[in-house]
Amino acid sequence: MKRYGFHIDTVNCSGCKTCQVACQDKNDLEPGLIWRKVIDIEGGKWHDDGGVFSEYPFAYHISMACNHCSDPLCVQSCPTQAMHVTDIGTVDIDQDKCIGCGYCTWACPYDAPRLNHRSGRMSKCDLCYDKIINNENPSCVDACPMRALDFGDIDVLREKYGDTRTIFPLASPELTEPNIIIRPHKDSLKASGRNSLIANREEL
Amino acid sequence: MEKFNISLVVFTWLTQASVGLILLRAVYMRGSTASDDKIYITGRYMLLTTFILLVTGLLFSFAHLNYPRHAYNAVNNISNSWMSREILAEIVLLFIVLAWYIITGFRIRKIPQVIPEILAGVSVIALIYLMIRTYMLPSLTELNHPSFTLSFIITPLLAGAAIIYFFLRKSEPGLAVKYKMFFGILFLFSLINHIIFRSFHNDLELYNIYNAFYLASLITSVPSLYATLKNKNVISDVIFLNLAIICDFLNRVYALTYTNPAL
Amino acid sequence: MQEKNKDISLFRSRIDRRNFVKWSSLATGTLLGPGVLVSCDNKSQEIIDPVREERIIRTGCPAHNCGGKCLLKVYVQNGIITRIETDDRQKDDISDPQLRACIRGRSYRKRQYHPDRLKYPLVRTGERGEGKFRKISWDTAYDIMYSKISGVIEKYGNSAIHVPYGTGSYTNTNGRWPAARLMNLLGGSLGFYNSYSWACINIATPTIFGTLETGNQRQDWMNSRYILMWGWNPAEMKDGTNSDYFIRKARENGARVVCIDPRMSPSAVALADEWIPVRPGTDVAFMSAMAWVIINEKLTDNEFINKCCSGFDKSNMPEGYENEESYRDYILGTMDGIPKTPEWAEKITAVPAATIRRIAIEYASTKPAILYQGYGMQRRAYGEQVVRAGATLAAMTGNIGIPGGWASGLANQAGGGPFWTVFPSRSNPVKGTIPVYLWTEAVLRGKELGPEHGLRGADKLDNNIKLIWSVASNILVNQHGNINRTIKILKDPDLLEFIIVQDNFMTPSAKYADLVLPVCTQFETWGIEDGWKYGEEVFITPKIVEPPFETKSDYRICADLAKRFGVYDKFTEGGRDEKDWVAWFVDEIYRKTRFPDMPPFRKFAAGNAGVYTKPVYEPKIALEEFTQNPRKYPLNTPSGKIEIFSIELFKAGQPDEIPPVAKYIREWDNPFDEKAEIFPLQAMGHHYNPRVHSTHDNNEWTMNAFPQRVFINPADASERGIKDGDLVKIWNERGAMILKCRITRRIMPGVIDIPQGAWYDPDEEGVDRGGNVNILTSERWTPFARGNAQHTIMVDIEKA
């Protein structure tokens, strides 16, 4: 089955969250509910050489919604089968079946499903299903002022951008086979659990 | 969920308590020196208690749902989802226990207890296994440690021992002391297991609520231990057992904070 | 998630019969997408505008001085905006890129339908600043305005009235210009020059170049091989839509990009190959040391210097000034005995000498190179110096007037860029104008101000300011330096007799008004806007939805008031409404100047394109003519050349504070003096992503994405036992605030950052809880430009 995915260019992402708010507007999300998030990673350290700084930290951003994985753990785990793969290969939540148990949030390595407090059911990025069946891009992709997001058939994206599917601190792609191609920021290559962390947890 | 929900912990803990109770009931039924009638009645009460624990647990599991109206859908995905299977197993167990309770009410002595005991025993072991599988998602790397799995064995036994102790405290004090001793050992296991789990997460901070309760339990365990050595059952036992139960419960609360989104 | 209790909402009023929309239901967001109606009660449904189908209208984003001017696709259903998308024109290349909106534009529905929108004219009932008002009719409001304004004119004179600086709207029919126009028809008012954004750079740039048009069109950046982004953060504040995207393209085209900034801004992360942190206020030391290296490594472009510059070295000095200190003298220390070596600069800037040396050599030997000056550096004490120092480096290396180069300075677009404002305010009969930052001085002692305070156009003022009519501005309280001082001045009825504030919301400034007037948003009236500093485009912003309750446009308010004064005809040029003006702007201004090929207004508006753009294929180069033929096209400077040594500044006669060559001058609040023992940390207040200055501070979507925090380095935090998310108190001799903190490595040790624009929200003790950096800033101005030195702040912090 053809699968769609995102290209996430962390080299050019400035962390501005226009993508996040574009999604909120398009889907009328209540305040506090976001389907796309931007993760700020900070790493490295300052080295003070007598009032002069000879070593500086590094940072980068990862904009991520749902990765519409090819082997989605959330679909496997959902007790009601509300989480399912759609006819076009995206992963979506059937609101008539969802009981809001939140088990999918345990299963998802990428923090995609979120509780919609208004409806009591889980919700997440649907890859703008209504747009992509009309051959339009998802709203987030067309919103990015740095043009750091792309969308399409995952095989086409792989040809265009390579096949890196993870970056610190994301999970190993073997876990769920996420349909994302990442362009890693130069500093992400030196990031690790020992020297880096997520700096904006309260915003995620 | 984004924030973990205490209803879920209550559900899990009560269900595991009922598992422990069923298993240890079989031990009690064979080990008790009371009259047959007494044993029979106590055994029935234990079944009833098991049923009530399971039902209460299920109600708490409803409370943790954000849209319980569709709750019946939860068994849709037994072909793929461990949680779906777990829920089915729980419901099956519920009916087994209910049927067992009702049937024992007719006092049909010809049916050997072993049959329902094995049936229930297999169900609860399956249930524990399914619970463990439900929690051990590959994405929940924080819970992927033997100490967490071990807690699924410690809790049922600890809770079962405590409940049986409360049943026997006044009526069969001698036997109750044995269950209290067993409980005490399990409490120590629970404490050590908790420390191991916390050290796995590099979280050995001194001043927090888990430590406070464990400390309180340890303090009250002293008079309880003394009473046990003197073969007595005293009010301090009750206090100690309750505090220790809370500790084990908090143990689970702590573990569930690691089900927050993976990032 | 941030929970803020912005108790500014005064009204829980019931729906007025004339209203179209149930505000509370909108505020709780019951919209579930374009296909679903808003829940309205039956009464209002009957009188709803019968537009049933979804309309999509292309328009300019409401212009709030964002730094960008972008295109929005606004979806309207039943008179309500249900969705906002952005430019989706197929073409998206360098010559004519899509004008994509940022997070602020995309979140606009949360501002447009905010429940705290001002609905009715209000008159003060409590004390100034208490925020207690009662509703009055527009009739009464106009009566009050008429009597107060004419009263002040009669008692004192026109120069006692001030329409302050305000950039809350640039759509021309909303904004302060209609008010300025009306006042000019009534005898004028006290005007100002400069801005809060660009005081030093605005005044200092002509002292070097004789012009403000020192910026090449941005497509030229593709030709550059080296880009020094100095204190410049286009990825966050924008500085012209797509500037960040242009830098990305230049980098992909082979330019090496280096970002110099005390904090690791989004631009440093996404646009640069290297980030170099520098201590705030010490940029001139860095630049001077660079100059030292460039001179010593013999990397100066001597041909260019001799041909086009004046004042670089002794042989290059202007006639009559040969014995004065040249720039080279200053750098090598021949007269002051201090060679500005990288080692000297290292101690001041906290940048290693080796790095300074390397950057200097890179910049001077990679040609053509851009040294782009951001505006934060010049919004500081002695901000004039950094402007001149940067331009001097550009001159020394011959990077001026060439493709791929950049002259630095203010950098208005070569060839004439956007007009910004086309609404004609007419000329002001009151000739004296003050530097914008000195308005509080004019309130306190206007009559004592003279040329030494920067007064222009007159030798003295006849009056103190007695009446303030603030339109589309939050300067009064929120954005001016030293809030505690300002509110004391505002509270005194003997100083200011009457304060009028016209706005969308009960801002901190509006709280101090005597009369508050509710203004509609730019979606609710016709307007026009062109690019922000750069760009070849013009947008019309049609009226998309009806103004709610009793809101009106700034233009309409002024026109109605003009009737009272009997100047309606003159004010409205024969009865024009907002749409007529927009037609006039298009047909009489834009089509006759920048965009002769633009369709006439009626056709353009009917086409629903929203924006008219002119692709740029051959970017114009600033100062090209001059550099190619300096004799034929001399600059408008006393020497006709690029004045590295400024004759004008020399004549100011204050060499310590206004040196004729760019010099590093230690700021009056700095981390080196004894005062730093009491207030050891430097504070900065950058232009934060979720807001445009103070606009959008009440926007749930943007502020949840980027909550207001004080950003602290881990070293400074751990020293004080502060953990991430703690409430901290930040204070200095002027005021104090309490704010949640965010520990981040992305700022230098010794520096904290309190993003500017948050709404001032004092508790009972006067401690600000909103996080407004101006509780700590100073009203002190810079010596030559009389500009706001608002980023020069020293503070201390502790756990609250």
Are B73 and A80 inside 8 Å of each other by CB?
yes
Give the C-alpha separation, C306 to C4, whole Å.
60
pLDDT at C37: 33
Q: In what order do the strands lie in the sheet with C133-135?
A: C133-135, C122-124, C515-518, C498-503, C467-471, C161-162
Distances from the Cα of A86 to the Cαs of A35, A68, A72, A108, C431, in angstroms?
A: 18, 10, 12, 18, 71
Q: What percent of chain C shows pLDDT beyond 70?
A: 93
| Mean pLDDT, residues C746-755 taken together | 97
Instruction: Give the per-residue pLDDT at B194.
Output: 93
Closest CB from A24, A56, A142 relative to C275: A56
Task: Please give the pLDDT value at position B207.
Answer: 83
Size of chain B, expressed as the number of residues it contains? 263
Q: Measure Cα distances from C663 to B130, C106, C326, C383 in Å.
A: 75, 43, 11, 11
- Position C10 scores a pLDDT of 27
Instruction: Out of A28, A46, A59, name the one closest to residue C29 (CB).
Output: A28
Nearest CA in chain A to C99: A145
| The pLDDT of residue B262 | 57
Looking at residues C455-467, what average pLDDT do you find? 96
Do B70 and A98 make contact, defined as CB atoms within 8 angstroms?
Answer: yes
- Report the predicted TM-score, pTM, of the whole model to 2 decimal places: 0.92
CB distance C701–A199 less than 8 Å? no
C neighbours by CB contacts (3+ pairs under 8 Å): A
pLDDT of residue C49: 38
pLDDT at position B13 over 90 = yes
Under an 8 A CB cutoff, do A28 and C33 touch? yes
The answer for A 105-124 residues in CB contact with C (under 8 A) is: none
Nearest CA in chain A to B77: A79
The pLDDT score that the predictor gives to residue C34 is: 34
Choose the closest CB to A79 out of B66, B74, B259. Answer: B74
As beta bridge partners, residue C72 has C59, C86
**Does the pLDDT of residue C614 top 90, yes or no?**
yes
Average pLDDT over chain A reads: 96
How do residues C438-459 score in pLDDT, each as one tens digit?
A: 999 999 999 999 999 999 999 9
Inform me whether the pLDDT recorded for C31 exceeds 50.
Answer: no
What's the pLDDT at A109?
A: 95
For C321-345, write each residue's pLDDT tens digit: 999 999 999 999 999 999 999 999 9
Is there a contact between C85 and A139 if contact means CB atoms under 8 Å apart?
A: yes
* Per-residue 3-state assignment (H helix, E strand, C coil) for C742-764: EECCCECCCEEECCECCCCCECC
Nearest CA in chain B to A197: B263
Distance CA C397, CA C261 (A): 22
Specify whether the CB–CB gap between C182 and C607 falls below 8 A.
no
Among A95, A106, A111, the strongest candidate for a mutation testing the B interface, having the largest count of B CBs within 10 A, is A106
Q: Which residue of chain A is at minimal alpha-carbon distance from C236? A: A16
Cβ–Cβ contact A130 with C under 8 A:
no
CA distances from C675 to C270, C380, C643, C672 (A): 37, 18, 36, 8
Using CB atoms within 10 Å of the CB of residue C678, give its burial: 0 to 12 exposed, 13 to 18 middle, 19+ buried: exposed
* Segments in chain A below pLDDT 70: none
H or E segment to which residue C134 belongs: strand C133-135
Pairwise CA distance, residues B26 & B31, whole Å: 9
Q: Which residue has the tokens 């496997």?
A: A76
Residue B17, SS3 per DSSP: helix
At residue B157 the predicted structure's pLDDT band, cuts being 50, 70 and 90, is very high
> What pLDDT digit, counting tens, does each position of C256-301 carry?
999 999 999 999 999 999 999 999 999 999 999 999 999 999 999 9
Asked if pLDDT for residue C15 goes beyond 50, the answer is no
Chain C CA closest to residue A139: C85
Measured between CB atoms, which of A18, A52, A203 is closest to C346? A52
Best mutation target, B3, B62, B67, to test chain A (most A CBs within 10 A): B67
B66:A115 CB<8 A:
yes
User: Do residues B119 and B223 lie in contact, with contact meaning Cβ atoms separated by under 8 Å?
Assistant: no
Q: Is the pLDDT of residue B129 over 70?
A: yes
Task: Name residues whose C-beta falls within 8 Å of residue C337's C-beta, 6 or more positions apart in sequence.
Answer: none
Query: What is the rounded (10 degree) CA torsion for C684, C697, C440, C665?
Result: 10
Domains and CATH numbers, chain A: 4-67+125-203 (3.30.70.20)
B66 closest CB neighbour out of A100, A169, A170: A100
Element (H, E) at C55: strand C55-60
Helix H or strand E encompassing C390: helix C383-396
The answer to whether residue B113 scores a pLDDT higher than 90 is no
Q: Verify whether the Cβ–Cβ distance A80 to B76 is below 8 Å.
A: yes
Strand C369-373: give its sheet, edge to edge.
C274-276, C256-260, C226-230, C369-373
Residues of A in contact with B2 (CB under 8 A): 105, 114-115
pLDDT > 90: what percent of chain C?
Answer: 92
- Over chain C, what is the mean pLDDT? 92
CB atoms within 10 A of CB B223: 15
ipTM: 0.97
For chains A and B, CB pairs below 8 A equal 104
Question: Rounded to a whole number, what is the distance in Å from the CA of A50 to chain B's nearest CA?
Answer: 33
Residues from chain C that touch A185, judged by Cβ atoms under 8 A, are 269
Q: Say which of A79, A105, A121 has its CB closest to residue B67.
A: A121
Whole-number pLDDT of residue A177: 97
CA distances to A15, B261, C106, C288 from A31, in Å: 19, 19, 14, 49
Sequence-distant (6+) residues with CB within 8 A of B206 are none
Q: How far is A136 from chain B (nearest CA, A)?
A: 30
Long-range interactions of B188-191: CB distance < 8 A, separation 24+: B189/B150, B189/B154, B190/B151, B190/B154, B190/B155, B190/B158, B190/B244, B190/B247, B190/B248, B190/B251, B191/B218, B191/B247
- The verdict on A25 touching C (C-beta cutoff 8 Å) is yes
Largest CA distance in chain B: 58
Cβ-based contacts of C701 with chain A (< 8 Å): 21, 24-25, 31
Q: Cα(C765)–Cα(C772) distance, rounded to whole angstroms?
A: 15
Assess contact for A60 and A10: CB atoms under 8 A.
Answer: yes
Q: Higher-confidence residue: C45 or C726?
A: C726
Chain A: give the shortest CA distance to residue B145, in Å.
16
C179 token code pair: 């008010």
Instruction: State whether residue A111 sits within 8 Å of chain B by CB.
Output: yes
Q: Which residues pair with C559 in a beta bridge?
A: none
Instruction: Please judge whether A108 and B138 are an interchain contact, meaning their C-beta atoms are less than 8 angstroms apart.
Output: no
Question: Using a CB-CB distance cutoff of 8 angstroms, which residues of chain A are in contact with residue C346?
Answer: 52
Using the beta-carbon criterion (under 8 Å), do A42 and C109 form an inter-chain contact? no
Asked if omega into C121 is within 30° of 0 (cis), the reply is no
